[in-house]
Structure 1
Amino acid sequence: MMRYDRPVIGLAFCLSGLAGFVDALGFLSLGGFFVSFMSGNTTRFAIELAGRHAGGILLAATILGLFVLGVVGGSLAGHFAARQRKAAVLAFVTLALLVSAGLDTIGFGVAGAGVLAMAMGAENSVFQRDGEVTIGLTYMTGTLVKMGQRIAGALLGGPKLAFLRHFVLWLGLLSGAVAGAVAHGRIGLDAIWLAAGAAALFTMVALFMPERD
């Protein structure tokens, strides 16, 4: 993450905010299941397995599968787009969000919320180099670990503000989640349309950003 310039970090902040927004919508709509935090869903899956709750097992497994499918789709979209990889991945994210919003509109709210996991899986392919994710946008454990390491480095005489980039990414997810919770309380899953609009805007921004990975 340290190798990226400010415009890219700005886009990462916005996309992390989008992930927080969408995850809050999914969490509130699916009764405590996440659509971007798969470590939490794996724990939830294990709990449902231990309790032999067929409905919970099916829902957790479906979300996990859709997330992985989204990663596959986003990675392929980026691969075939070559010079416009970021924009292609974000176009895939936008399409998945539109499908999710459409499903909710015609009365398939749970299915629509589940498809959010596909969008979030794809989003993690935006920043990628040599097949490896360079900035994780929907999960913050690694980001907080790196932030802690940068703080420790600063205390030992290293760069004093190196931790800020990781803090900004975490702050983006937090801010987006707050906005998502507020939006869900007011308009429910209709808020997915807002997420899709934001993703479309970020796609346009990515079109004008140099592709360096």
Structure 2
Amino acid sequence: MLPGSTFKSARTVHAAKLRGRVGLYFVACLSVLAGMTDAIGFMATGDFVSFMSGNTTRLAVSLGEQQFGPALRIVLLIVAFVLGNALGVIAARLSGRRPWPLLLTIAALLCLTALLPASLQLLGLVIAVVAMGLVNTVVEEVNGLPIGLTYVTGALSRFGRGLGRRVLGERRHGWRVQLVPWTGMFVGAVIGALLETTFGLGAMLFSALLTLSLGLISLKIPRRWQLRYMPR
């Protein structure tokens, strides 16, 4: 191999590693945001904001107990989450797959949730759920590895399967990084719980502030890397 080709190959590998590292830091911060928001919403209203697996189980239990009012409320949240994901993909395409417009929109929605009066709590909750749906489209993958930002069951499953393959002697890469979103969400949930104890649903303002900060940080991420993180 020619010296120039060797240098170019090494530079490409270094760039890929750096892109992956930056992407994982970004994922960790977004997972903290998701955990904060979910904990605040759950403690303030009794409903999950981003954990739709939990809401699905609660929906089934409500239907089984013939509690149709709570069931309808949960259906509304699940639909709002799906809608948020769909709108996120559309918004990402319209913005040229740039994260900052999405993050700015999410920050505005979380601010609105925090500032709505208690009589409009359900509306605020739905708005927050839509915001969490949007979050999932800010980063969809890092160096080819699928990433879930507002749910960690898949991440723990992928980590566990990777651990099993490692015990069997297989040398696959990427399974360890699945703990990044789980750790971020756990840390964020602890912070969110502490904030909600003092500020109630108004603690969503802290989530909005974190989102705005991440939007500003995203401006420093190279454009070509942003295209690798967001949905195609």
The TM-score normalised by the length of structure 2 is: 0.81
Question: Is the CA contact 1:77–1:92 (under 8 Å) kept in the aligned structure 2?
Answer: no
Q: Where do 1:29-108 residues align within 5 Å?
A: 29-31=44-46, 33-84=47-98, 86-104=99-117, 107-108=119-120
Q: Distance in 1 between matches of 2:150 and 2:169?
A: 31
- Counterpart selection for 1:124 from 136, 148, 151: 136
- Unpaired runs of at least 5, structure 1: none
Find 1:109's aligned residue among 107, 115, 121.
121
Residue number in structure 1 paired with 2:154? 142
**What residue identity is the alignment partner of 2:35?**
G
Q: Which has the larger radius of gyration?
A: 2
Of the three residues 33, 50, 54, the one matched with 1:18 is 33
Q: Is the 8 A contact 1:35 1:117 kept in 2?
A: yes
Structure 2 gaps of 5+ residues are 1-15
- The superposition leaves residues 172-207 of structure 1 with CA deviations (integer Å, 9 ceiling, x where unpaired) of 100101111111111111110000010011011112
1:83 CA drift (Å): 4.6
Q: Sequence identity, in percent?
A: 33
Structure-2 change in CA distance of 1:79 and 1:134 (3 Å): farther
Compared CA separation, residues 75 and 165, structure 1 to 2 (3 A): same
| Cα distance in 2 for residues equivalent to 1:12 and 1:128 | 9
Aligned to 1:206: 218
Matched-pair contact (CA < 8 Å) for 1:74–1:92: no
2:106 aligned partner, one-letter code: V
Note if contact 2:27-2:180 (Cα within 8 Å) is conserved in structure 1.
no
Tell me how far apart the structure 1 counterparts of residues 87 and 116 of structure 2 sit (CA, whole Å): 19
Q: Is the 8 A contact 2:140 2:148 kept in 1?
A: no
- 1:19 to partner: Cα distance: 0.4
Q: 1:149 is matched by which residue type in structure 2?
A: R
- 2:197 is aligned to 185
- Pair 1:117–1:83, CA change in 2 (3 A): closer
Confirm or deny that 1:6 pairs with 2:6: no
Is the CA contact 1:154–1:161 (under 8 Å) kept in the aligned structure 2?
no
- Cα distance, 1:108–1:142 mapped onto 2, change above 3 Å: same
Provide the C-alpha distance between the structure 1 equivalents of 2:173 and 2:82, rounded to a whole number of angstroms.
35
**In structure 2, the residue corresponding to 1:111 is in which secondary structure?**
helix
C-alpha RMSD over aligned residues: 2.4
Change (3 A) 1:133 1:147: closer
Give, in angstroms, the shift of residue 99 of structure 1: 2.0
